[in-house]
Structures are given as structure tokens and as C-alpha cells.
Structure 1
Amino acid sequence: MSQTERHRIERLGHQGDGVAPGPVYVARALPGELVEGRRVGDRLEDMRIVEPSSDRVSPPCAHYRGCGGCALQHASDEFVAGWKLDVVRQALKAQGLDAEFRDVITSPAQSRRRAVIAARRTKKGAMAGFYGRGSDVITEIPNCRLLAPELVDALPLAEELARLGASRKGALAVTMTRTDNGLDVAVRGGKPVDTALRQDCATLAEAHGLARISWEDEALAMRLPPAQVFGGVPVSPPPGAFLQATREGEAALLACVEEITRGARRVADLFCGSGTFTLPLAARAEVHGVEAEPEMLAALDRGWRHGQGLRRVTTEARDLFRRPLMADELSRFDAVVIDPPRAGARAQTEALADAQVPVIAAVSCNPVSFARDAAVLVAAGYRLQWVQVVDQFRWSTHVELAAAFVLSHETGRASEGQGTA
């Protein structure tokens, strides 16, 4: 049996663990704390705090101890904001870069409008919630402080879906998204669709006032279009399509994108999804949206055609990892918005650097790939003017950001009228 050890925490790792010399990783410990526990490999288990940090707070959620949905509820908001800023700053420093940082914008509690809920059948019925940290055990979350109230209220719906369509061995992944017409529910990991399941899902949609319910991307019932509003334009994305996690986070990122591209008459929106940025930008510029998924582009196009007062929007289905827009294609644009997945977009960034587009608004969910791509642009003559960190995944280790890149001779123009995003 391992003996109790004491360790002083030096820093917070990228997964939110405290890190002591060794390294030794300690879940839910903070820098400066003296902790003790049993050493198991490179981890300290059964941790007890001997000397707490002044940044330690009481977790606001009663489920925090067992739930894996949040990682940093034990730390003050000020500490988390500073840590997330430093994560981005260190990623840039590793590439030899620096920038002006604006104050972090943090989404409020109970604002997550979309979440993947785990739902499993049990001997007594069913249960739904989040998996525990590093575990396949589901923690029920009836008083969750993270999710929007509509999602918390729909947890019994996820249990009903498990009773109807889950196997005894596996759990369902139930993605619930708040829309203007009720919840949009998409289920994965269940049994094959049959007549009985179709009927049951239609009944659930009516009983719970759902906008839509889908099973493995097939819409089984739709009462009303599952509308999201982008720039005042209703759009109904396909099941499971990408959406910013909170309205507040989306608004903060959009404000940055609009500021960076202000004055541009022709804008390319790369990895545009269903039009989060495309449609608001179309209020003052022609926009070309590029996205690999045709269904998302179709939703964007329908929204634009029904919108009022918008300038021309064109779309193109294209895998930008395999076939990035090249310099000759980019030369007609005054500004580019790029919002790639976590892997970043190295090839597309290199093409942007070659094209010398005057202004680039970069949105990212991964500071490391962002910094790598930023270095390509800076080496090509761009200035990384400022970075806005947006913490829309509150109490998690995820970091979102928007950043302004301008060519050296364009710096004056891009900085005119700058405000705080």
C-alpha cells in the first residue's frame, strides 16, 4: 500500500490538473497549494489540501465532485480568466510571437445552449447526465449550473430516449440544442430505427414540444424548424451541425469579426458552417462562404434567400484541408474570416499568406494550432494586432479566441475606430 506524500503545486496543466515537481499530477489542485495523497504512478490520488490557495472557491454546483462536465469550479473566475489568457500567451511565445490581449469575456452560468448528454438504461429504468472525470460512470445532474434551464429540464427526455432506444450495454449520446422553436435533439449510439421507434419519437416530440428529433442524422420528427438566428436571419442547421456553445460567446466572437473586417466590401468566410458569421457580415458586404458539409451550406443559403436587406452571399462546398482556396482565388477579397476545427488550417493559412489578403479575422478553439498558423502569417508580413479570449466553455479547460491580422501597410486602416469587442 502506497504511503502518503506531500507536494507543492507549481502550475496548472492544460487539462486543468495541478502539476507538482516530478511531474506529479493532482486533480483539482491549484498553484501554490500544499497537498497530500497516495502516489499512483505520476498521479496523486485521494488528495487532501493542507494549505489552500487564495484562488480556491467553493464549487457552485452540487454535482461537481462526481461530474466530469466541469473541471475548474474550484477556482475563482479571476484565476480562470488569467490562466486562459496565459495559455494563449504561452502558445504564442512558443512561436516567438506576442500580441495585445483584451480582457477575457466569460459566458455566464446556465448559458450553455448545447450539450451532449449520456443516457443509459438501468435495471430500474434509465439515467442521464455527464460522465465522471476519466470514467464511464454517469453522474446525474438535476441542478446543473452549467446548462441552460431548458436543457436541464429535458434530462427526463434523455432518460425516456434511453428506455426506448438504448441497448443494455451501451449509452446513448443525446445532443440537445436550444432553438427558438424548442429543443433540437439528435441521438447517436442507439438501436436501429424501426416503425415503433419512429412512432415513439414522434410522440415524444409532441409531448415535450421539441422542434426536431433525429436518430443517427435521420430526422424522425419535426414539429417546427429548429431555428437559430444569425444576424437577424433564422437558419435551421442540419442535425448535429456545429454551433457556438453560448449566445454570449457567439456575440463576443461576432463582434470581433465585425470589427476586424469593418470597411471590407468582399469577404470570404472559411469553415463558415451554417452562417454564424456569414449572414451578419452580409448586412454590409458581399460574402463567400466555404464549408465542407453541403447540408450546412444549404441551410445557410435558405436563410440568406429569406433574409431582408442582405448583400449577395455565395457558397462553395469544399474540403479546405485537401483543397484550400489558393492565392488567385483569394485575391478578389478585401478580408477573410477563418474559423477552423481544433487542428487549425496550416495549408489554408499558407495560401492566405501567399495571397496577401489585407485583413484576416482568425477564430480558434485551440491556442496551439492558432499560434502555429499565426506564425505563418507573421512570417509573411502580417501583424498580429490583438487577441480576444472568449471563455464560453465556462469552468472547463477549453479556450476560444478571435484575433486580428493585418498586413504591415494596412495597420492604420484596420485600427481606425477600434473598440473593445
Structure 2
Amino acid sequence: MSERELIISELGHRGDGIAQTDNGPVYVEGALPGETVRANVADGRAKNPVIETRSPDRIAPVCRHYETCGGCSLQHLAPAPYLAWKSSLVEKALRDRGIVATVSDTVSATEGGRRRAVLTATRAGRHTLLGYHEKASHRLVDIAECPVLDPAITNALPGLRALAGEVLPKKGELRLTVLATTAGLDVAFDKADKGYEKKIAVLSRKAVELDLARLTVNGEVLLEIRPPLLDMGGIGITAAPGGFTQATAAAEEALSRLVLAGVGKARTVADLFSGVGTFALRLARSANVHAAEGDAAAIAAFDKALRKPQGLKKVTFERRDLSRRPLVREELEPYDAVVFDPPRAGAQAQAEQLAGSKVKTIVAVSCNPATLARDLRILIDGGYALQSVTPVDQFLFSPHIEVVAVLKRE
């Protein structure tokens, strides 16, 4: 391992600086394009880098935990180049699949902070640690603040730490999912100590003191003071315990606007991988909608919301694993437009069926540019034309990016 001078030319997809050398790329954690770094190099990675020439785009991190916490990777990059980098991630993913397209500027949608956080708790002697893992480590950073979270979650950290301490397993870690809803915090523990039933009274008292909307342990709702509601375009949805929702309300609104604009005046729409109805409920203001989702809890929440009169068009739904049993071409025929928003693995099987269909408009939403590009390639090869690609940033300071792509049948 020898010390050498490295000139950073670009940012990688994880946010590391990349220096191109005769021996291939060298990845430098924390470095920015235009910087000169001196470091030892081993196996294509810089060890203990020292920045000799700083980029004008370098700024001071906003969190005291940034140097150790693995939750954020780019607090040291100024806002404009940061958003440009997010767009470049999408552009590269498309190029890798031979797709030439204009990618719109990244929409910043982090206002108000992340309303959903997945934290980890563990024992350290007699103390309880609550936070995120260190970078490239199993060690836990006990956080006192987190600038990316909704202030309601940050303010509750001491109480959540005490609550977690009551149900910590004797060995291993406890996962804690916190969701800020219109009714207060919804807290769900996973992998809690199996003897938590003996502490139901204590847990309930602490939940009341924290003014939680609901407390769930290992899938069992112990206490619901108020239904933890999410506002889906004016319609209240009771969140499933520990269930998925868009990380920020601002991103949900931005994604929904793009989806609605992409669908346009379609009268019949299929919303696939629909979750709790984030898009379906909004689409149903002006179109008949059929929603399909594989998660039972999400479908149950969607069903419950539909039981109240909402002034919507016709809405139907089904529980269906679309990765294994996608809607086939014959089932797709009634729809003017299809929206799909799959998990990170993408929607390859469904895209293959759509590619052979007569659906006029497809709106693809994705949290993974690589699998999105794969699915878009299938649709383009099937005769669809890519109309627009818009990145939406809801995971501030991270390498993650949401994308909305609109396609039309040529």
C-alpha cells in the first residue's frame, strides 16, 4: 500500500469521489470533484485520505454525527451540485441501458423532514443506544439529533430511547419504525424481547407520556390512542404498523403531481404496486381506478379508507403478487393508462406484459434508477416512446432518488 496523489473527477453512485488512475478507478470517501487528495490506496479504495485542494462546492456538514453516522453521505456538498448529481445518477442508469433521454432537473422534496424513520436500538452495558449504524460498521451511533427527520421525531428521541429500553432483546438489535402522522407518532417495534407482555402496563404508560398515536410491538398493537392518519390528497388513511409510505409529505405531493399529469385525461387507470393508495386515491378523483398490491396490511388500510364516502369515481382493488403474477395483456386491455410503483427490484414481469399491450399511457415510478432503466428498456423495445423523466429527491443527503417516467404508445 503506497501513498499517492489523487485528482477527483466525479462522484460515484454511492457518493464517493472517484479518481481515474492507470490502475483503474480509486474510490475516495468524502471527496468531491475537483479536489486533490493524498492517500494510501489498496484494492481500489483510498485509506485515510487528506484533502490538499478543496472544492468550492464543499460546505460544512449540518449534523454533529456526520463523520461517523452512516445515515447520510453528502452533507458536505452544496445544494445545486448535489441536486445535479442526483439527476446524473438517473442519466447514467438510462445510458447503461442504451436509453438516450433528457432528464429533468431534480425536484427537491425534503421540506419538513422525513416523516418515516427506521432506527436501531441495542444495549451498551446498562445504557440503551438508539440511532443508525456507523459507516461500513455494525456499531451503532447513539444520535442526539438528526437534521433530516421531522422535528416531531427528533424531539421524541429521548422518550423513544427509554421506550426501546423496555423491550430490548437480551442479544441482538431492536428495530424501531417511527412515522409522524396527522394524529401523532406511530411507533412499531420489531424483534422485541419475547417477554414484552410482562411490561405492557409500563409500555402503555410511557406511550401515553410520549403522546403517541399508536404503539405496536412485534406486530401486536398494544395501544392506539388515536388512529395514526396519513392525508392522501384529502383522504385519511390509517397507516399499517411499520408499513411503507413515502418518506416525506413533500415528495408524496411532488410524485403525485407528476403521476396525475402523466396520466392526463385517462378515464380508466390501473395502479399497480399501489401500496395504501397513494396514487390510486388521487387518481380516483377523475378516473375509474383498479389497484393491485401484494401486501395484505396495505390493502386492508386502502379498503378501510374506501368504506367512507369520499366523492370518488369507481375504485376496485385486489391483493396480488405482481412480481409472480402480473396483469397479463388481456387484463390490461380495459385501461387507458397504467401506473406502477414497485419496490427496488423493479417490475420486470409486469413491464414485459405491458410491452405487448395496447395501453396508451404508462407512468413508471421507481426508487431504483437501475431497475427502472431495465423496465423502461423493455417498454421502449415494445413500442413505447419515453416522454419525460423526472427525478424527485426525498432522501436528503443520501444516494437514493425517486424517479417518475412517462411513456406513450407510438
Letter of the structure 2 residue corresponding to residue 39 of structure 1:
V
Distance 1:74 1:143 in 2: 17
Deviation at 1:3, TM superposition (A): 4.6
CA contact (8 A) 1:122 1:168 kept: no
Secondary structure of 1:126's aligned partner = strand
Aligned position for 2:355: 353
Contact 1:119 1:158 in 2 (8 A): no
After superposition, where does 1:152-301 map in structure 2 within 5 Å?
Answer: 152-301=154-303
In structure 2, the partner of 1:344 is: 346
CA distance in 2: counterparts of 1:114 and 1:358, whole angstroms: 35
* Larger CA deviation: 208-217 vs 96-105: 96-105
The Cα of 1:45 is off from its aligned counterpart by 2.1
- Give the match for residue 415 of structure 1: none
Superposed displacement of residue 204, structure 1: 2.0
Write the deviation string for residues 363-396 of structure 1: whole angstroms up to 9, x where unpaired: 0011111111101111111110011100100110
CA distance in 1, matches of 2:166, 2:267: 52
- Tell me whether 347-356 or 117-126 shows the greater mean CA deviation: 117-126
Q: Is 1:76 paired with 2:105?
A: no
- For residues 137 and 358 of structure 2, the distance between their equivalents in structure 1, rounded to whole angstroms, comes to 47
Moved more, 386-395 or 24-33: 24-33
* Counterpart in the other structure of 1:388: 390
Q: Specify the alignment match of 1:104 in structure 2.
A: 106
Distance 1:20 1:197 in 2: 54
Tell me the TM-score normalized by structure 2: 0.96
Whether the aligned pair in 1 keeps the contact of 2:39 and 2:46 (CA below 8 Å) is yes
Which 10-residue stretch deviates more, 30-39 or 397-406? 30-39
Q: CA deviation at 1:35?
A: 0.7
2:26, 2:118 → 1: CA distance?
A: 31
Q: Quote the residue 1:150 is aligned against.
A: 152
Alignment of 1:61-140 (within 5 A): 61-108=63-110, 111-140=113-142
The residue type paired with residue 133 of structure 2 is Y
Q: For the Cα contact (< 8 Å) 1:100–1:385, is it kept in 2?
A: no
Q: Distance in 1 between matches of 2:353 and 2:340?
A: 12
Identify the residue that residue 16 of structure 1 maps to in structure 2. Answer: 15
% identity of equivalent residues = 42
- Per the alignment, do residues 47 and 169 of structure 1 end up closer, same or farther by CA in structure 2, a change over 3 Å counting? farther
User: C-alpha displacement at 1:158, in angstroms?
Assistant: 2.7
| 1:233 CA displacement | 0.8
Question: What is the CA–CA distance in structure 2 between the aligned matches of 1:267 and 1:36, rounded to whole Å?
Answer: 56
Where does structure 1 lack aligned partners over 5 or more consecutive residues?
A: 409-421
What's the CA shift for 1:109? 5.7
For 1:311 and 1:270, the matched residues in 2 are separated by 18
CA contact (8 A) 1:272 1:339 kept: yes
Query: Per the alignment, in what secondary structure is the counterpart of residue 401 of structure 1?
Result: strand
SS in 1 for 2:253: helix
Greater CA drift, 75-84 or 392-401: 75-84
Partner Cα distance (1:74, 1:195) in 2? 45
> Residues of 1 paired with 2:349 and 2:290: CA distance?
19
Superposed CA deviations along residues 299-338 of structure 1, whole A, max 9, x for unmatched, are 1111122142111111111100110000111100111110
SS in 2 for 1:165: coil
For 2:64 and 2:196, locate their aligned partners in 1 and report how far apart those are by CA, in whole Å. Answer: 39
User: Which runs of 5 or more residues in structure 2 are unaligned?
Assistant: none
CA RMSD of aligned residues (A): 1.5
2:112–2:248 CA contact under 8 A, matched in 1:
no
2:317 match: secondary structure: strand
Cα shift at 1:151 = 0.8
Q: Distance in 2 between matches of 1:336 and 1:46?
A: 49
Q: Say whether residues 1:306 and 2:324 are aligned partners.
A: no
Q: Tell me how far apart the structure 2 counterparts of residues 271 and 248 of structure 1 sit (CA, whole Å).
A: 21
Q: CA deviation at 1:125?
A: 2.3
Q: Distance in 2 between matches of 1:200 and 1:361?
A: 48
Matched AA of 1:274: V
**TM-score (norm. length: structure 1):** 0.93
- How far off is 1:110 after superposition? 5.1
Amino acid at match of 1:16: G
CA distance in 2, matches of 1:235, 1:108: 21
Q: Give the match's secondary structure for 2:194.
A: coil
Give the CA deviation at 1:171: 2.2
Would you say the 8 A contact 1:304–1:310 is kept in 2? Answer: no
State the one-letter code of the partner of 1:347: A
Residue equivalent to 1:418: none
Alignment match, 2:407 = 405
Cα deviations across residues 162-183 of structure 1 (Å, max 9, x unaligned)?
Answer: 3211135322111110011111
Give the Cα separation in 2 of the matches to 1:186 and 1:36. Answer: 45
- Match of 1:66, as an amino acid? T
